[in-house]
Each structure stands twice: as C-alpha cells, then as structure tokens.
Structure 1
Amino acid sequence: MSAILLLGGRSGIGLAIVEALLSETSGATVLLAQRPRPEAPGSDAEERLRAAGAAEVEVVDFDATALETHATLVEGVFAEHQVSHAVVAFGVLGNQEEAWTEVAAAQRLLTVNSTAAVGIGVALANAMRRQASGKIIALSSVAGVRVRRSNFVYGASKAAMDAFYLNLGVALEGTGVRVLVVRPGAVATGMIAGNKPVAFTVEAPQVAETTMRGLAAGKDVVHVPSLFGPGMALAALLPRALWRRLPV
C-alpha cells in the first residue's frame, strides 16, 4: 500500500493537496508529520482525510527546529512505507518587522523555512532514490521570487528554499523521482488570519487543483494564481530603483 507523507500536518494548503492526491490514490496511508500537542493531535485532520479516502492516518512527531532528528524521521517513515508523494508544507511567516530587528526572530524564520526545508529535502531525495520512485511537492511562495521590503526576511527564507527544490528536481532527473515547486501568493489559511487583505488571495483547494495539474503535466514549478507566472517573470526584469517605488 502506498503512503502520502505530509510534513507540516496542520498546514491548510498541505491538507488540501493531500485530499486532492487521495482523489486519485484512494486507499493510501497518510502520514501527518507535525509538532505534538497535548490535546488529541491531528484528530480533526484525521477525520477529514479519512473522509477523503485515506485507508489509515498516522501522526508522526516532527519539529522543524530539531534539525538533528530529520534524517532519522524520514528514514523511519520510508523503512515502513512506500511513499508515493511527500508534501513539504511546514513554514512560519513571523512578524516581519521583528524578523529584521531581532536576531532570534530572524534565526527562527531562516531555520524553519530554509535550513529545515533543505535538510528534509535531502533526506527525502535520498530515500526516494533508493526506492526509485516518488514525487516531492515543495510549497514555496511568490514572495521568494523577487523579495520585497515589506517581508524581505520571509522572502529571503523562501528564496533559498525555492532555489534548492527547483535544482533538486534537476539533480534527480533519471532517478524516477520528481520535484514540483508550488509558488502561491496569499492563501486564505490560518497563517495569514488577521492580516490586512491582499489582492489575488486564493483558497487552499485552488492551490491543490493547480498542484494536481502541474503533476499531471510534468511541470517543475507552478504559480497560484497562474497569472503570477508571467507577472513574476516581468517583476524580475524591473530595475531595482523602480521595484523599490512599488507599493510594499
């Protein structure tokens, strides 16, 4: 029986993607890797995923900041399961002003979004190469394509993660393992709850639908909404002096 691994088991986008995957692979085991909580961890998500077609849902303790545990966690999962898809969906947004004025805040943001994500990617690639199959879906952000002043520490953390996974896909060519980088803009999930409304905000199911289309088409990167693809390509060409004048 195949398994789907969601790293960031409480991620609204991640759960939506797993639901979409289950629509095509009903009967798979779903592994929710997430930070443990005293109260029945993952119970709501478990019911949701069983309703979507999961045969079993298992919760695995995962702390993105505990870097020394990541290789062992991935090795343990792959020792017991044939993982068809691994969704890398963990991350933190943080307070953007604190992130560039407080050392600890900046370090936490980069540790979770960059260092942990890269280490997990290396571990997943090694494990999937051994089984000669598998797909890694890495949740990035358009914030990392051309970093803005308003969230430049977060954007920098996503830029590093994005560049790693995009090139990991190139490195894995011919191994039977594929990588899809998903670059959404603002998504209506708990991560941005309470923040000022942002133009082109999408819902998590829309990200999942675009992800599924990207997998089917064999793409290495998708944007949500799709207009962000050409939009960010143009943004990359803007002179820095002009980019700085745009609303932040």
Structure 2
Amino acid sequence: MKDAFGTPQTLLVLGGTSEIGLATARRLVARRTRTVWLAGRPSPALDSAAAGLRELGADVRTVVFDALNPSGHEEALGKVFAEGDIDMVLLAFGVLGDQAHDEARPLDAVRVAQTNYTGAVSSGLICAGALQAQGHGSLVVLSSVAGERARRANFIYGSSKAGLDTFTQGLGDALHGTGVHVMVVRPGFVRSRMTAGLVEAPLATTPDQVAQAIEKGLRRRSETVWVPGVLRVVMSALRHVPRPLFRRLPV
C-alpha cells in the first residue's frame, strides 16, 4: 500500500532499462519505495539497473518481459502480482524508430507500432485488471507530445503514441471509481539514449525532470502530466493550426 505521504511502497517498471523508468524508480526509492520489479528482456543492462537500485537500499527483482510477445505477458506479469500487491505500475517501454528507414521498410514500421501500442495494450490491460482486483494502485503510462498531432518528421512513432494515449485515457475512464488511478505522461523531447544524435527540439527535458513530474502527478493524483508543463499550451495551439500552414512549420 502507499504510505501516508502517497509514495508507493512497491513499484513495477515495464521496460526495466528505460532511463525515465529508472530515474522515477530512484526518486521513489529515495522516498519510501522498498520493492521494485524491473520487467524486461534479460541483458547486462537490466542486471546493471537492478544492481544500481539495490545499492540505494531497494529490494529489486527482475522478470522476463518482451513487449513484442503479448502471448507471454499474462504469465510474466502474473508472477509479479502473485508475489503481493503492486502500488504502482510504470509503463515505460517504447522505441523511436527511424522515420525515413521505416517508411521504406513497412515491417520495421510495424515493429514500432507493435512495441509502442500493441504491447502496451496487452500489458496495460493485464496490469489494470490486477490493480482492480487488489482494489488500489496507480498505472502510469509514458506517452509523448508526438501523439498530439501527426508530423511529417515522425508520424510513424507519433501515430503509435497517439493510439497509446487514447487507449490510456479510455482505460482511465473505465477504471474511474474502482480505486485504480491512471495517469498519462506526455513529455516533449527528452535527452536520452533514444534521442542521441537527433537535433534537439525546443523545451527539451531530461529523464530526471520527467521523473520529478511523475512523482508530483502521483501526489496530486493527476490524470494527465505534461513535461514541461508549458507544452500543454503549446500543443493546444498547434492542434488548431490549419493543416496547410502546419505542413510548413519547422516542427
């Protein structure tokens, strides 16, 4: 259960090597989170992530999880919830892809969509059902401002995040009143391994700043979190720009 300050005592990170996921885990462990599950494909990076959190005093466990293998999600996540209640699930996996490459190779584009959307639908529903069965908990889903309006530069990635964002909002409505809190997080450009080498967009942020916003959103039981907050206004304006003009914008 969450403590008196609203901090989850148990955390499950789907995408156990995610920089945002681990930054969030570190912040929560520094408060009162004691048990952390890292779900991901076995790798030295996953082992290293677990070791780093153990050094901070957390009881860290790993579970084999692959977003591209939905048929295995129920078994993998069932193992986690069978060990006890989970106060917070952070869905943090995703891939950016390479727009130019993926346009020319549709199967690679499908892989982006399957990871970011199909895998999230599968694991999100399983975790939501488990949280509802225990009667409490938060499901936090990392979306992106890229899903707010399709852009020529990254419409494959953006469309997958748009689907994820809509799914999460609908899931939150479906779970309203059940004791389960659903929160969608919409960061802008995040300086991370995934964006290394890309031209940095305005209002860029960091994994630590996103983690801080997630923590604040948990305390407030927010349903939507923008990082940075000013993006709420920026994207509201961009959504209403006429399409012929939008095509000419350097976004």
TM range (shorter): over 0.9
Q: 2:41 aligns with which of 24, 35, 46?
A: 35
Residue 113 of structure 1 is matched in structure 2 by 116
Residue 102 of structure 1 is matched in structure 2 by 105
- 8 Å CA contact 2:139–2:182 kept in 1: the answer is yes
Letter in 2 for 1:145: E
SS of alignment partner, residue 94 of structure 1: coil
Over the residues paired in the alignment, what is the CA RMSD in angstroms? 1.4
SS of alignment partner, residue 83 of structure 1: coil
Tell whether 2:22 aligns with 1:18: no
Q: Distance in 2 between the 1:136 and 1:51 partners? A: 26
Residue 52 of structure 1 is matched in structure 2 by 56
CA deviation profile, 1:80-132 (whole Å, cap 9, x unmatched) = 12100100000011111122221111110110000000111110111001000
Residue 174 of structure 1 is matched in structure 2 by 177
- 8 Å CA contact 2:189–2:200 kept in 1: the answer is no
Q: After TM superposition, list the pairs within 5 Å mapping 1:1-248 onto structure 2.
A: 2-26=9-33, 28-37=34-43, 39=44, 42-54=46-58, 56-248=59-251
SS of alignment partner, residue 247 of structure 2: helix
CA deviation profile, 1:157-195 (whole Å, cap 9, x unmatched) = 000001101121111011110111110011111111122
Q: Distance in 1 between the 2:214 and 2:40 partners? A: 22
Q: 1:16, CA displacement in angstroms?
A: 0.8
Q: How many pairs does the alignment contain? A: 244
Q: Distance in 2 between the 1:19 and 1:172 partners? A: 28
Q: Distance in 1 between the 2:105 and 2:46 partners? A: 32
TM-score, L = length of structure 2:
0.93
Q: Distance in 2 between the 1:19 and 1:167 partners? A: 29
SS of alignment partner, residue 205 of structure 2: coil
Q: Distance in 2 between the 1:167 and 1:23 partners? A: 32
SS of alignment partner, residue 114 of structure 1: helix
Q: Distance in 1 between the 2:150 and 2:143 partners? A: 13
- 8 Å CA contact 1:114–1:158 kept in 2: the answer is yes
SS of alignment partner, residue 23 of structure 1: helix
Q: Distance in 2 between the 1:164 and 1:25 partners? A: 30
- 8 Å CA contact 2:20–2:211 kept in 1: the answer is yes
- 8 Å CA contact 1:3–1:81 kept in 2: the answer is no
SS of alignment partner, residue 226 of structure 2: strand
Residue 5 of structure 2 is matched in structure 1 by none
Deviates more, 1:231-240 or 1:153-162: 231-240
Deviates more, 1:17-26 or 1:207-216: 17-26
Letter in 2 for 1:42: L
Q: 1:198, CA displacement in angstroms?
A: 2.3
